[in-house]
Amino acid sequence: MKAKQTLIDIGIVFTLPVLVLVISIFWDPTANETSLLSLVGPVPEEQEYGAKAKEALATLRSIDMDTSLFDDPIYRSLQEFHVDIAPAVLGRPYPFTQPEVIRSMVRTPSPL
């Protein structure tokens, strides 16, 4: 009898919130819309920004680079100076790594 009452209580605990949620979604008297899905078009400011961005990209595409720059003697006299960066260890060591003594004990089986 006690197990049956426990199952009924669990069913009520799970069913009641779902029922309240469904009622609040579908029978809300303050809802202005009749459907749960509303479609919103693009805002005029976004359309204006998109048009400006497309115009700027079109301007950039129309630019032709003068490749005679690469044939200039001054450009050819330029040298690349670079500094080699020594490799460094990234981050911190893993704090849960076993010490070397324990690792060596695990690798070598005990004579027992």
pLDDT of the residue at 59: 92
Residue 17 belongs to some domain of the structure = yes
Q: How confident is the model over 4-29, as a mean pLDDT? A: 85
Is 110 a residue whose pLDDT tops 90?
no
Residue 9 belongs to some domain of the structure = yes
CB 71 within 8 A of CB 77: no
Residue 79 belongs to some domain of the structure = no
Question: What residues make up the domain containing 19?
Answer: 1-27
- Comparison of pLDDT for 100 and 66, the residue scoring more: 66
Dump pLDDT digits (tens) for 26-85.
Answer: 776 665 555 555 666 777 777 788 889 999 999 999 998 888 889 999 999 999 888 898
CA atoms within 13 A on the CB side of 51: 7
Number of domains, the chain: 1
CB 36 within 8 A of CB 25: yes
Residue 5 belongs to some domain of the structure = yes
Residue 8 belongs to some domain of the structure = yes
